[in-house]
Structure 1
C-alpha cells in the first residue's frame, strides 16, 4: 500500500504536467479556430457588402435610362469602394450585436428588397431618392402600405421571410452550427471582450456616419478623396454621381442654413428698420384688415391642370369652375417644391414664407427636421391667432404624417381634425380617401360653430396616389397616340382626371356656400404638386417648370378683381392674402411681396421671374442681389440664428396672445 501510494504520488507531477500540456494545446487550437473563424466571417461579410453595394447602385441607378449599366457603374466606380466600407462597418456592427453570422447575413439581406421597393416606389411617384428623414415614416405603416400595390407588398414581405429563413436558418443547418456554441470560462470572457471591442469601434464609426456633414468628418473626406462632387441642386443627380450610399449619407442631419456673411444683431436691426420704412410706403391706402374675417388656406392634394401638359389627350377641361374663379380674382401659377410628393414642404412654405431653396440641401423636410425643435415658429397661423383668430387644422388622414401634431402645436393651432374625428367621411366609389366635398363641409361647420374668426389650414386627400380603379366612371383620356405610354397609364390618368372633376365641383360648392354666408371669408387655394404618374418621357417633353406648376388663387366672398399674380413659389403666396384683404403688410410680408415683384422665386438653384423666365443667381443685378440677401438673412435669423428681429419683421407671428 505504501509503495503503491508512493508510486501514485510520484506519478502525480507527471500526470499534472500532461494534463496541463493537453489544456495548453487545446486552448491554442481553440484560439486558432476562433481567429480563423473570425477572419473568414469578416471576409464573408466584406463579400456581402460588395454584393449589396453593387445591387443598390445598379438597380437604383437603372432608373436613369440615359445611362447604360456599365456607364452607371463607371460613374461611381471610384466611390463603390467607400460604399463597401460603409456597408461592411454596418455588417460588422450587426454581427457583433447578434453574435450569429448566418442570422446577421439573413437579416441584412432581407432589408435589401424592402429598401429597393421603397426607393423605386419613391423615385416613380416623386422623382426623389430615399432620404434618412424618410425613416420617420416607419411610424406610419398604414401610409407606407397605401403607397405600394397590395400584391407587391405581399411579395416583398414574402421575400423578406424567405431570405431570413433560407439564409439564417438554412445557413446554420448546412454548416452544422445550430444553436449557440458552448463556450465557458476564460474563452467566453474572451469572446465577449472581442465582441464588445468590435461593437465600440464600429459603433463609433457609425456615429461618424450620422455626422457626415460636420467639418472634418472622416467618411465625407474619404468620399471626396475618391472623387465625390456633391450636387445639392438635384438629389437624383447627387445619388447618381456620388453613389447611392454616398448620396444617402450626404442627406444626414445638418444645420438648416449656413451663416450668411454679415449676420449680426446690428445688421438685422438695420435690415428691420429698412423694411419697416418700405412697408409703410407700401401700406399707404391700405385700410382693410383681417379683423372679423375668416381665413381658409386650402392645400388641394395633387391638384393641377393636365391640359397644360404636352403629350396628354384630355379632350374636356376637368377644372372649368376653378379656372372661372381664377379669371375673376387674384390668381397665378405656383411653383411646387416636388413632383408626386412634397405636400408638407409646400404647406411649410405657404404658412411661413420661407424658401426650401435657401436652406441647406439636406433640409429636405422642415416639418420633420426643423420645426419640432422649437417651442414656437413664426407663421401666418401665429399672426392671425395673435390677432384673435381661432386656429384649426383639418387633414382627413393619419394624424402623425410629417410630425404634424408637433408642427401644428409649434405653429399655435388650437385644434387638429384628422380622419379619426372629422364629422364628414364620404368617399366616392372605391376611393379610400375622404372626398374634398366632405373636407370642405368640415371647414364650413367649423366656421359656423366658431364664435371667434377662424383661420383654417385644410390639407385635402381625395386625389392622393394611388391612381387606378378608384372610380366606377372615368373620362376617356390618355397619352397622345405618338407617346403610347400604355393602358396602365391611361387608367391612372383617367382616375386622376375624374378626381380633379370632383374636386373642381366641390371647390365651387364651397365658395358658393361662403358667398351665402354672413361672415367675411378669404380663401387661399393651391395645388401642392403634380401627380407622380407622369412618365419620364412627359417630363422631358415639358421641362421642369411645367412639371412643377400648379394653380393658385386668393379669393374673398365680399368681391374680387382679376389680378394676374404670374409665377410664384409657394413661399410667396402669403402676400396675396393681404392684397385681397387690403390689409397692411408687416415688414416681412413686404419683403416677400417686393422680392417676388422685382426678383421672382427661388427654384432649383435658380431664380424664376414672375413671367416664368429662369435667371442664374449670379446674373441678378445689385438691387436684386440685395433683396435675395435680405431674404436669406431673415430666414437664417428665424431658423438658425437668434431671432433678433422676428418681432419687428413679423409682429405676433409666433402666436403668443397677450
Structure 2
C-alpha cells in the first residue's frame, strides 16, 4: 500500500473518531435528546454508525500497539506532545478570546494526572500495557477478554455505570477497548463470512433498538432519560459488532495487508497522528469557542453535520501538520537526540532511583536552591504583610493566615516566586555570581518587606509606586525609621555579605553563557514590563492576570498586598488610567457645556459684587485635624479644641468628608485646589499629584485666578512631587525647608520633630503683610503628622482618653494634645488677620483622621472620614461684603471649597466656578465610599451624603442632579485626560 493510501486510512479513521467525540458532547449543541421525531431517529442511526466506527478504530489501534516498540522515549514524547498541544491551546485562547484560567494551564502542563485529555492519556497507557497483554498466555488472554466483555455486558444490562466507565470517552473505557484489540491481535477466525453476517445482523438489530429507544423512553418514563441507552460507547452489543469486524479485517484478503502496512510503518504515523488529533479535539478552546458556538448558528441538521465534518477534517490536518512540524523541529535542533539521551538516564527499577536522584541533584542543586529560596521569600513576604495569624479578606470571613496563604494564594505565590527568581537570574546573568545574585535578591526582598511593614504600621497600606517616585524624599523618609531598625539592618547586611563571599569560594557555580544571559534579560524585561498593561481591560495580559487570580483591590491596598503579595500589588498600581471617558464626550458637547455655564455664571454674578482675584484667600490644610470625641467609642476628659469650636459656631462651618483615612493629604489638597473629585478618577489613579499633574500639558488650579500665589509647607518639599506640582499649577513661590524661599520663625513643641502650626501661621502672616491684594496661599501644616506613639508632648494625661475596639488611649491623648496646640495657634492667627487692613478669608480644614482608631469601617466609616472645617473672613473682608454661608454647609467635600470661598467673599465667578457652585449647592456631597475599609479607598464609586449626614443612593438623585453630575464628570475628564477643550473656549476664565 502506498503512503498516500495509508495516510488516507488513518485520516478517515481519525475523522470518524473526532466526529463521535464531539457530536454527543453535552456541552455542544448537536443533539439534546429533547424531541421524539424523525430527526432523532436519523441522529440515533448516525450515532450508532459513529460509535461502531470509533470502537473499531480503537481496537485496530490496540492491535497496532502490540507491534510498537516499547520505549521510554515514546512515552515521554507522547506526554510532551500532549503538553505542547495544551499550552498552544491555552496560548491561543489567551490571544484570540482574551480568556485565561489558571486551571487550564494546569490541565495543559499536567494532562495525565488532571485527566485533561482522557483519550490521549488512554493511548499512552495502552501503548505501555499492550506489550504486557500480548505476552500473556493464550488462556490468560482469553480470560481477560471475557472479563472485559462482562464489564460492558453488566453495564448494558443494568444501565448503570457500575465500573466508573463514564460516557465512554474516558481513560478506563478507552483503555479497555484498546485492550480488547491488543488481546485479540493474534486471533485468526476461519470464516470471514460468518463474522460479517453476525456483525451485520447484530448491528442492524441494535440500530433498530437505538432508533425506537426514544419512543420507548417516552412511553415508560414520560421523558428522554433512557433515550441514549443503546447508542453508547459502553453498549455491549456495539462492542461485539466492532470486535467481530476487527477480527474479520485481520483475516487474509480484505484489509489485513493494509492494516499490517499501517501498523508496521517505521514512523508509527497512525499512533502519533491519532494521538495528536484526539488531544487537539478535546481542547475546550475548540469545543466551546468554535464548535459549540458555530454549531449554535445552524438549525438545519445537515448543516450542523457538515460543520462537524469540516471541523474534524481541519483537526486531522492540524494533527498531521503538528506531527511533521514536531518531527522536523526535533531532528533539526538536535532535541530528539537530547531527549533520547535524557530518557536513557531514567531509572528502570526501584534500586536505580536513589543513584539517579543523587546524580540529578548534583547537576541541578543550584537551580533548585534558587527557585526554592525564591518560593520561601514569596511565602514570607505574604505572611509579613499581616499583623496576626488571622486573615480577613472580606468583612464576614476569617481564615488561618498560613493555610489561606499557602492554599488560597498559591497562584500569586507562584507568580511572585517567578518574579523573584527572574531578578536573581538577571543579576546572575549580569555579574556571573550565583551566590551574590541570590544574596542580593534576598536582601532586596527583605528591604521591601521591612519598608512595607513600616508603611503599614503608619498608614495601614503598603508601599505604592507613587511614593517610590518621590526619590528626593527618601532622606526624610529614612528619618521616620526607628534607630534600632537601622542597626539590625546593618548587621543583617554584613552577615549576608560574609556568607555570600564564603559560599562563592566554597561552592562555585558555572557561569551563564551569552545566549542564556540574553534570554534571561529578555524574559525579565517582558515579565516586569507586562505590568504596564495589567489593568488594560480586554487585553491578553489583563486576562492572564485575572485568570491567575490577581485581585488588584485598589480600594483596599492592604488587603491587596496580603492576598496578592506586596510585589504584585505594587505592580498592580503601575498601569495607570486617569479616568474612564464619560458618555457623550466631544468638542461640541464641551462647547455646549461651556456656553451653559457661562449663562449660569452670569446669573450668579447678578448678586455678586466683588472680584475674587482681588481678595486674599488662604486654604489652610491642617494635618490630621479632627475632633477625637466624634469617633465612636472615644471619650476625652476635656475639649482639646474650644477656640475652633467657637469659630465654627460663629462662622461658616461644618464637617468635611475626607477621601482618606490615616493618609491621603495630597489628595485632599488636589481636590481643594482644582475643584475636581477623586471619586471620578480611575481605580488605578490613587494619587493625582504624582501620577497625573506632572504629566499634564496644562493643569488648572484656583491660584491661577490670583495675581500672586504662594504655597507654604514647613517640611521638606519633595513629598508627593509638590515641587513639580506647584510649578505646574503656576504658584509663584513654594516655601519649604531647604527652598530658596526660606521658612522663618521656626519653632517646635516639646520633643516633636515637626515644626509647629504657629510656625506655619507666622510665615503665612509674613506673606500677607508683604503682598498687596490678590494673594492666594496654600498652607499645608505638619505639626500633627504621625507617629503618635513617640510621646512628643507632656501633660497628655489631662485629656484622660477612654477607647473601645483596641484603640490605644496613649496615642489618642498624644493626638489630642496636638489638636490643642493647633487650636491655640489657629485662634491667635485669626486675631492677627483681623488686624490687617485688607480682605482676608481663611478656609481651614482637616485633611483626614489619624490612623490610630480601630473602629469597624463598615459600621463607623462615615464618622471615620469626618473632619472639621470653617471659613473665616476678617473684618476688612466683611466690610467689602463677605458674609457667612447658611446653606449647604453641614456636610461638604474638599472640592467644594473653591465655590464656597467665592460665595463667602461675595465674589463673581467664572463659568467653571459656576459649575462648582452648582455642584456644591445642588448635589449632595460626593466622596469616596467611606465604608469600604480601614485604608484609603481608591476605586470606590461616588458616595453621596446629604446635609443630614445620610447616604443617598445615586438612583435617588433627580434627573437634573444626574445631568449636573454628568456635566461635572465631562468637565473633569476634559481637564485631566481629554483634549482640554475647556482651556481654550473660556470656560476657566
TM class, shorter-length: 0.7 to 0.9
Query: Structure 1 residue aligned with 2:892, among 560, 568, 577?
Result: 568
Mapped contact 1:58–1:73 kept (Cα < 8 A) = no
SS of the equivalent of 1:60 reads: coil
The Cα of 1:254 is off from its aligned counterpart by: 1.9
**1: CA distance between counterparts of 2:752 and 2:555?**
36
Deviation at 1:175, TM superposition (A): 1.8
Structure 1 range deviating more: 122-131 or 418-427: 122-131
Work out the CA distance in 1 between the residues paired with 2:539 and 2:574: 12
Q: CA deviation at 1:528?
A: 1.1
Shift in alpha-carbon separation, 1:337–1:419, aligned structure 2, 3 A: same
- Offset at 1:152? 2.9
Any idea what SS the aligned residue of 2:469 has?
helix
Corresponding position of 2:383: 58
Q: What TM-score do the two structures reach when normalised by structure 2?
A: 0.57
User: C-alpha displacement at 1:253, in angstroms?
Assistant: 3.3
Structure 1: distance between partners of 2:799 and 2:399: 32
How has the CA–CA distance of structure 1 residues 268 and 197 changed in structure 2, closer, same or farther, with 3 Å as cutoff?
same
1:589 has 2:925 as partner: no
Which residue of structure 2 lines up, in the alignment, with residue 131 of structure 1?
464
1:609 aligns with 2:930: no
| Aligned residues of 2:534 and 2:545 also touching (Cα < 8 A) | no
Deviations 1:312-352 (A, max 9, x none): 23111111111111111111211222222111111111100
Q: Is the 8 A contact 1:475 1:498 kept in 2?
A: no
Query: Is the 2:657–2:865 contact (alpha carbons within 8 Å) kept by the matching residues of 1?
Result: yes
Matched, 1:106 2:439: yes
Does the C-alpha gap of structure 1 residues 280 and 157 become closer, same or farther in structure 2, counting only changes over 3 Å? farther
How do 1:116-155 and structure 2 match up within 5 A?
A: 116-155=449-488
Q: Secondary structure at the match of 2:734?
A: strand
Counterpart position of 2:866: 549
Measured after TM superposition, the shift of residue 647 of structure 1 is 4.7
For 1:382 and 1:164, the matched residues in 2 are separated by 54
Is 1:205 matched up with 2:520?
no
Query: Residue 458 of structure 2 contacts residue 787 of structure 2 at CA under 8 Å; is this kept in 1?
Result: no
Aligned to 2:761: 440
| Deviation at residue 38 of structure 1 after TM alignment | 8.9
Change (3 A) 1:210 1:49: farther
RMSD value, Cα: 2.7
Distance 1:135 1:409, change over 3 A: same
TM-superposed CA distance for 1:545, in Å, is: 1.3
1:251 and 1:497 mapped to 2: Cα distance?
35
Cα 1:622–1:561 change in 2 (3 A) is closer
Asked if 1:327 corresponds to 2:659, the answer is no
Which structure: larger Rg? Answer: 2
- In structure 2, the residue matched to 1:398 is 716
- Provide the secondary structure at the position in 1 that maps to 2:890: strand
**Where in structure 2 are the equivalents of 1:233-248 lying within 5 Å?**
233-248=555-570
Question: Please, which moves more after superposition, 324-333 or 608-617?
Answer: 608-617
Given candidates 962, 967, 974, the residue that maps to 1:625 is: 962
555-564 or 624-633: bigger deviation: 555-564
Aligned to 2:837: 518
* Per-residue deviation, 1:417: 0.9
Q: Is the 8 A contact 1:327 1:562 kept in 2?
A: no
Q: Where in structure 2 are the equivalents of 1:76-475 lying within 5 Å? A: 76-166=409-499, 168-175=500-507, 191-214=513-536, 218-384=540-706, 389-420=707-738, 421-467=742-788, 468-475=790-797
Residues 279 and 587, structure 1, Cα contact 8 Å, conserved in 2: yes
How far did residue 361 of structure 1 move? 1.2
Distance 1:77 1:137 in 2: 33
Q: 1:218 & 1:101 partners in 2: Cα distance?
A: 34
Please say if residues 757 and 822 of structure 2, whose CA atoms lie closer than 8 Å, have aligned partners that are also in contact: yes
CA distance in 1, matches of 2:560, 2:592: 38
Give the whole-Å Cα distance in 2 for the aligned partners of 1:284 and 1:104: 71
SS in 2 for 1:288: coil
Within 1, Cα distance between the matches of 2:821 and 2:797? Answer: 12
Using the size of structure 1 for normalisation, the TM-score is 0.85
Q: Offset at 1:414?
A: 0.8
Shift of 1:97: 2.3
1:506 aligned to 2:825?
A: yes
Structure-2 residue corresponding to 1:19: none
C-alpha deviation, 1:232, in angstroms:
3.9
Pair 1:491-2:810 in alignment: yes
1:423-465 residue CA offsets vs partner (Å, 9 max, x unmatched): 1111122111111111111111111112453211111111111
Give, in angstroms, the shift of residue 395 of structure 1: 0.7
8 Å contact kept, 1:312–1:479 = yes
Q: Which runs of 5+ in 1 are unaligned?
A: 1-27, 29-34, 184-189, 653-658
2:656 counterpart SS class: strand
Structure with the bigger RCO (C-alpha within 8 Å, sep 6+) is 1
